[in-house]
Amino acid sequence: MSRTGKVLYVIVCAAGSAVGVGRLVTMAQERGWAVQVVTTPAALDFVDVDELEKQTGRPVRSRYRRPDEPKPPRADAIIVAPATYNTVNKFAQGIADTYALGLLAEAPGLGIPVVVLPFVNSALANRVPFRHSVEQLRAEGVRVLLGQGESEPRSPGSGGADDRPWKLALAEMDRLTDTP
Ligand SMILES: Cc1cc2nc3c(=O)[nH]c(=O)nc-3n(C[C@H](O)[C@H](O)[C@H](O)COP(=O)(O)O)c2cc1C
C-alpha cells in the first residue's frame, strides 16, 4: 500500500531501549508514515514525551480518551517496540487494561497489521508462558520478531542507540504492507 497519509501507531513499552524510539519514529516518517506514538503508562518514564510530540506533531497517548475528547485517527499499521515481557504476554491473552493493550486487542480482528519487537532478556524469553504467547500471537497473524539477529533477547535497560532493531521492525512492516 502507499504509505502517504497512512498512520503507523508506534506502541512503546517500559523497556530500557524505549529511550531510542525517536529513531524508529524518524525512520518510519522517512518511509512516508504519519506516526502516532502510544506508550504504556509505565513507559512514560522511559521516553521524552515533549520531543516525541515535537517530532510527530501529535500528542503522545497513554490512556483512553475521555468520552468528550475527539477520536484519534485509526491505525493503518502498528509496531510495538520495544515490547516488554509483560505486554507481550497480556496481548496474547487478550488483556486490555492499558490503552496500548486495548488497541492491540482489537487489531487482529480489524485486520490491522501488527509487528512486535520484544526486548526481553533470556531469563524471561525462555519462560514457557512467553514462548506460548509468541506462538499464540503468530497463530493470529501477528509478526513477532524473535531470534532474528538484532532483536535477540537482550538484557533489560541495554541501551536504545542501536538502529538495527528498529530497521528490522520497519522492514517487516514493509513486507506486510507493500503490495506487489
Ligand atoms: C530500567 C528498566 C528497564 C527495563 N527493561 C525491560 C526490558 O528491556 N524488557 C522487559 O520486558 N521489561 C523491562 N523492564 C520491566 C518493565 O518496565 C515492567 O515489567 C513493566 O511492568 C512493563 O510495563 P508495560 O509492559 O506496561 O510497559 C524494565 C524496567 C526498568 C526499571
pLDDT value for 49 = 98
Q: How many Å lie between the centroid of ligand 1 and the Cα of residue 77?
A: 24
Residue 60 to residues 127, 128, 147, 155, Cα–Cα distance (Å): 32, 33, 30, 26
Q: What is the pLDDT along the chain (180 residues), one digit of tens a residue?
A: 667 789 999 999 999 999 999 999 999 999 999 999 999 999 999 999 999 999 999 999 999 999 998 888 999 999 999 999 999 999 999 999 999 999 999 999 999 999 999 999 989 999 999 999 999 999 999 999 986 534 444 544 444 568 889 999 999 999 999 865
Using a 6 Å cutoff on CB, does residue 88 contact ligand 1? no
* 39 bridge partner residues: 12
Please indicate, yes or no, if residue 33 is contained in any of the structural domains.
Answer: yes
Inter-residue contact 10 to 25 (CB < 8 Å): yes
Q: How many Å lie between the centroid of ligand 1 and the Cα of residue 1?
A: 34
Please indicate, yes or no, if residue 1 is contained in any of the structural domains.
Answer: no
Q: Cβ atoms within 10 A of the Cβ of 153, count?
A: 17
Using a 6 Å cutoff on CB, does residue 12 contact ligand 1? no
Please indicate, yes or no, if residue 2 is contained in any of the structural domains.
Answer: no
pLDDT value for 5 = 80
Nearest CA residue ID for atom 18, ligand 1? 14
For residue 5, what is its C-alpha cell? 497519509
What domain count does the chain have? Answer: 1
pLDDT value for 143 = 97
Q: Measuring CA to CA, which residue among 18, 14, 11 is closest to residue 36? A: 11
Which DSSP symbol is given to 18?
G
Inter-residue contact 17 to 158 (CB < 8 Å): yes
Question: Whole-structure pTM over 0.85, yes or no?
Answer: yes
Using a 6 Å cutoff on CB, does residue 156 contact ligand 1? yes
Please indicate, yes or no, if residue 28 is contained in any of the structural domains.
Answer: yes
Using a 6 Å cutoff on CB, does residue 119 contact ligand 1? yes
pLDDT value for 151 = 44
Please indicate, yes or no, if residue 32 is contained in any of the structural domains.
Answer: yes
pLDDT value for 150 = 42
Residues in Cβ contact with 85 at an 8 Å cutoff, skipping those fewer than 6 apart: 118, 120, 124, 125, 127, 130
Nearest CA residue ID for atom 16, ligand 1? 14
Q: For the domain that residue 163 is a member of, what is the CATH number? A: 3.40.50.1950
Using a 6 Å cutoff on CB, does residue 21 contact ligand 1? no
Using a 6 Å cutoff on CB, does residue 169 contact ligand 1? no
Distance CA 41, CA 102 (A): 13
Q: Residue 48: which domain range?
A: 7-177
Please indicate, yes or no, if residue 74 is contained in any of the structural domains.
Answer: yes
Please indicate, yes or no, if residue 30 is contained in any of the structural domains.
Answer: yes
Using a 6 Å cutoff on CB, does residue 87 contact ligand 1? yes
Decide: residue 108, CB within 10 A, 0-12 exposed, 13-18 middle, 19+ buried. Answer: middle
Inter-residue contact 78 to 104 (CB < 8 Å): yes
Q: Cβ atoms within 10 A of the Cβ of 51, count?
A: 12
pLDDT value for 163 = 87
Residues in Cβ contact with 160 at an 8 Å cutoff, skipping those fewer than 6 apart: 16, 17, 18, 19, 20, 21, 23, 82
